[in-house]
Structure 1
């Protein structure tokens, strides 16, 4: 079982959209996929088919249920552990527990018999206990970033956190890659291209080849709680995320 966290310490970089799209594409390819919404904003939960709100990640954190009890099917070979507003309080309680980095690692025990891939949508908060717990349980972390200076700072900060987690909790954690969202080499935006050049110079081979273009097909599909395959089969968004999914798999 592969466990991938999608993380950045800055919001608005298409982290949730990337988990949403890549997860659905992996499931479409025949893999058994579990999506975990670990962000109290619950954006991932809101762009998938409606599920029972009484079964959520917060109930697992409150020790009222096991992870297997709150997995809800949202597509063929696709399951979700939903987020709700209760996650805000639950995360604060979790952070007071000295063993909080091990939360997901313990919760995932036995899951490998049922699931091939776990994708975790982490919160962007710099000191999030759930982000640390997600990284502690993950085999790889993928970092989406938009072409702007504040996102660059978010990537740098996130990679520093990854190094601390590797040192203290999970030496097997790897940075799967950093990928650009809301960007294309063909865009006429000189400042963006300069930023991307700086990123490639700074992070080298960690920067992935695939970039995700801006595309209205993504929010249109999400508001309908459907996949890109259902609503925009010929869109640039689906083309880009298909390429990204293939590149992610190639980095195993």
Structure 2
């Protein structure tokens, strides 16, 4: 089971779109895919047609269980979507209280890792959509993944958010004593603007080979797919945005093969 965490400490950079787009493409490959929504805003949950306030179980139950998390609870919290091979563990607003309620308890940084270990034979890929806030949710998501995917909007202010994200990643790596490979994904690229090109050049200049050598363009089909609550690859398989995510997925799978 391969786990990818999609994270950035700046909002609006395309984290949920990246999660859904890659998940849809993987599911079409016949991979068994689990998407985990750890954002209290529950955008990923709503994307797949679930109302977070009407759910019996959610990822909040997993964190509430703490060290007692087990396979039975994980499976209770996972919902099948209407798309083949694609399941979701939904979020609720209660996640916003997690740090205040449980953040000081020992061992809370590895809850998700324990939970995923209990269902590792059920899925080929897990993608975790993370809120743009450093806390127990982000710590868990970074601790349990094989690779961190960092979408970065190609505009200058987004570079500041990336700097924060990289400091967080390095801090967690130091505390855990283990490397966490990462891939920076340029998103919302607008070839008509000089700002997008200059930001891309700055990304490559600063982070080198850690930056994917493609970019995800601005594509209105992403918004249309979201409105239809359908993965972009199923809604508009030939759109330029989907073709870009196909190239990204090939790159990521090659990295996993080493």
Q: Same fold (TM over 0.5)?
A: yes
Question: Is 1:132 matched up with 2:132?
Answer: no
**Residue 32 of structure 2: aligned partner:** 32
Root mean square deviation, CA, Å: 1.7
The corresponding residue for 1:67 is 74
Q: Give deviations 1:49-75, integer Å, cap 9, x for gaps.
A: 337611211122222972221111112
Matched, 1:58 2:65: no
Q: Aligned-pair distance for 1:172?
A: 4.3
Q: Does 1:201 align with 2:205?
A: yes
Match of 1:160 among 154, 167, 186: 167
Q: Is the 8 A contact 1:10 1:150 kept in 2?
A: no
The yes-or-no answer on 1:114 pairing with 2:122 is: yes
Structure 2 distance, partners of 1:238, 1:148, is 21
Alignment CA distance shift 1:170-1:118 (3 Å): farther
8 Å CA contact 1:42–1:82 kept in 2: the answer is: yes
Q: Secondary structure at the match of 2:117?
A: coil
Q: Shift of the alpha carbon at 1:91?
A: 4.1
Where does the alignment leave 5 or more consecutive residues of structure 2 unmatched?
none
Unaligned runs of 5+ in 1: none
* Number of the residue aligned with 1:12: 12
Counterpart of 2:243 (choices 229, 239, 245) is: 239
| Structure 1 position 215 matched with structure 2 position 219 | yes
SS at match of 1:49: coil
Query: 1:98: how far off?
Result: 2.8
User: Does the aligned pair in 1 maintain the 2:187–2:217 contact within 8 Å?
Assistant: yes
> Does residue 99 of the first structure (1) align with residue 78 of the second (2)?
no
Report the more deviating stretch, 89-98 or 192-201: 89-98
Deviations 1:75-107 (A, max 9, x none): 211110001112112343231223221121111
CA deviations 1:5-52 (Å, max 9, x no partner) are 011010000011100110111111011111000000101111113376
Tell me by how many angstroms 1:188 deviates.
2.4
- Corresponding position of 1:192: 196
TM-score of the pair, normalised by structure 2 = 0.90
Q: Of 88, 91, 96, which residue of structure 2 is paired with 1:83?
A: 91
Report the TM-score when normalising by structure 1. Answer: 0.92
Match of 2:189, SS? coil
Using the TM superposition, give the Cα deviation of residue 147 of structure 1 relative to its aligned residue in structure 2, in angstroms: 1.3
Equivalent pair of 1:71/1:79 in contact (CA under 8 Å): yes
Asked if 1 retains the 8 angstrom alpha-carbon contact of 2:98 and 2:136, the reply is no
